[in-house]
Amino acid sequence: MPSTQRGSTVKRGKRWGARWYDEMGERRFAGGFETRSAAREFVESKVDEVLAVRRGDPVALARAEVVTVEQAVDRYLAAHEVDPATTDKLRRQLKHATAAFGDRELRKLRPDELASWRRGISEGSRSDVFRAFRQVLEQAVRWGWIEANPARHIRNPKPKRPEFEPFTSWDELEAVVAELRPRFAAIPLFAAGTGLRPEELFALERRDWTAKRTSSRSSGSTRRDA
C-alpha cells in the first residue's frame, strides 16, 4: 500500500461505492451512494480520517476505535454520575438496546432501523427506553466514537395518559360509600360532588367549612336587610 492514498470510487449496478485503506492497512468498502460525487466525497473524508489517526489526532483516534452498542452502554453507565437507583433504572431500560444491537458497531446503526426497533417496544415503556438509548448515543458523539447521533431526529413522544373514570353512576358511588365506616362516608360523596382535585380535597381543614358557613350567613343577612 502506498504511503499516501487517495481512495477510489467504483460503480456497482446503479449505485456507486468507495474503496480505501484504513489505518491498519486493511482495504475497506462502502456502497449505496447515489452519485459518483457522493462516493468521492465520502472516500476523501475517510482518507483524511486515516491520515489524522496516523498523526495521532485524539478525535480521529476515538472515531477509529470500534465501539459496539454493548460496550458503549457499559462505559456510559460506568461514567454516569447519578444515584444508584437511577443507574439501576437506566440499566434496565438499556437492556432493550443491548438485546437488539449488542454486538453492532455504533457507527453502523441506521436511523430507520432505530425507528423500527422503537416501535417494537411496548407502548408503556417505549418513550423512556428510547430516550435512555438516545442519551448513550449523544454521549458517544461527545466522546468522538461517532460523528452524529442516528437517533437525534427520530420522534419520541410520551405515551398518552389513559383516561380514568372511577364511577359511571351515583349508584356505584353509593355502593362504595355503604362499605365505609360512617365517619368516612362523606368523603367520596363530597369529592365526587364538588369535583375537587385530590391535592385540593385533602388540603381542606375544618376551618374552611366554618369560614364558608359564616360567609354564607353574612351574605344572607345582607340580602334580608337590603
Q: Is residue 19 part of a domain?
A: yes
Pair (83, 136) in one structural domain: yes
Pair (124, 59) in one structural domain: no
**Residue 212: is it exposed, middle or buried by C-beta count within 10 angstroms (0-12/13-18/19+)?**
exposed
Q: How many domains does the chain have?
A: 3
Q: Is residue 134 part of a domain?
A: yes
Domain containing 136 — which CATH number?
A: 1.10.150
pLDDT tens sequence for the chain (226 residues): 445 667 899 998 888 888 888 777 778 888 778 889 988 887 887 787 777 767 776 655 555 567 899 999 999 999 888 888 999 999 999 999 999 999 999 988 999 999 999 999 998 899 999 999 999 999 988 887 887 899 989 999 988 776 666 777 888 888 888 888 888 888 888 777 787 777 787 777 767 665 555 555 555 544 444 4
* Structural domain containing residue 93: 69-142
Pair (169, 184) in one structural domain: yes
Q: Is residue 181 part of a domain?
A: yes
State the pTM of this model.
0.50
Q: Is residue 156 part of a domain?
A: no
Pair (60, 86) in one structural domain: no
Radius of gyration of the chain measured on its C-alpha atoms: 32
Q: Which of 18, 39, 64 is the last residue of a domain?
A: 64
